[in-house]
Amino acid sequence: MEQEAIARRVVEPLETTRNTLLGGRIVLHQPRRGARATGEPVLLAAALQAAPGQTVLDAGAGTGAASLCLAHRLPGLAVTALEVQPSLAELARRNAVENGGSDAIRVIEGDLAVPPSGVGRIAFDHVMTNPPFFLAGRGRPSPDESRSLARREAALDLAAWLRACLARLKPGGTITAIHRAERLGELLAVLDGRTGGLRVHPLWPVAGRSAKLVLV
């Protein structure tokens, strides 16, 4: 598939940076250029409510930032971080080990469109996801192929991505997603009727300014 083909062309980053999250409580190694975590995975992890012993799928995990934040906030979870890009999946494994979360976080390299057996045969209590923000073929793609794959739709558009996430849930499970506010209607069109209830949290950058992101 297109997404897998692009991922295979994205090589291990030659340069990485060592950053921290949650006030220095989490160490995050990530590419110096390209697919870098910002505040979105932190907010995503903060929004998910789960209990010890439950299972969580982080769909499109990147370097594992959301998984790390969640495991730190809620010890006792079993988190599976699914990432299609080999270089980012390897960094996610490194980050899990360095932060002492290798027992709580299992990193799997694979495509959400065709989930590997470690994901496709499992039903999770919760799914959290930060899908690619931008439509395929719209605007100017990033010259960095890794960042473009992380931020722009490829094999799955937003609706298909969300349906794939819903397919991984146990009955009564929850899905938590962060996305651009301008695409809220698309999120609701997929989730309405497929979930027992919806909560929308606009993320306002400052008072008096429109929200650019929403948590659902």
Residue 94 near residue 138, CB atoms below 8 Å: no
Kindly report the CATH number assigned to the domain that includes residue 18: 3.40.50.150
Q: What is the pLDDT of residues 195-215, one digit of tens each?
A: 888 899 999 887 778 899 999
Residue 186 near residue 158, CB atoms below 8 Å: yes
Q: Which residue has the tokens 């929004």?
A: 47
What mean pLDDT is predicted for residues 176-181? 94
Is the whole-model pTM more than 0.75?
yes
Q: What is the pLDDT of residues 76-92, one digit of tens each?
A: 999 999 999 999 999 99
Per DSSP, which regions of the chain are E strands?
A: 16-21, 26-31, 55-59, 78-83, 105-109, 124-129, 169-180, 201-203, 213-215
Round to whole Å and give the CA distance between 164 and 121.
13
The answer on pLDDT for 136 being more than 90 is no
Relative to beta strand 105-109, strand 169-180 is unpaired
pLDDT band of residue 146 (cuts 50, 70, 90) is low
Higher pLDDT, 141 or 130: 130
What mean pLDDT is predicted for residues 180-192? 92
Q: What is the pLDDT of residues 117-127, one digit of tens each?
A: 888 888 999 99
Mean pLDDT of the chain, nearest integer:
86
pLDDT band of residue 10 (cuts 50, 70, 90) is very low
Relative to beta strand 78-83, strand 55-59 is parallel
**CA 131 to centroid of chain Cα atoms:** 6
pLDDT band of residue 9 (cuts 50, 70, 90) is very low
If DSSP states are collapsed to H, E and C, what string results for 118-172? HHHCCCEEEEEECCCCECCCCCCCCCCHHHHHHHECCCCCHHHHHHHHHCCEEEE
Domain that holds residue 81: 2-215
Q: For the chain, how many structural domains are there in total? A: 1
Q: What is the pLDDT of residues 20-56, one digit of tens each?
A: 999 999 999 999 887 788 899 999 999 999 999 999 9
26: left (phi over 0), alpha (psi -120 to 50) or beta: beta
CA nearest 91: which of 70, 107, 113, 115? 107
Q: What is the pLDDT of residues 64-74, one digit of tens each?
A: 999 999 999 99
pLDDT of residue 140: 59
- Write phi, then psi, for 81 (nearest 5 degrees): -105, 110
Single-letter amino acid, residue 195: T
The answer on pLDDT for 128 being more than 90 is yes
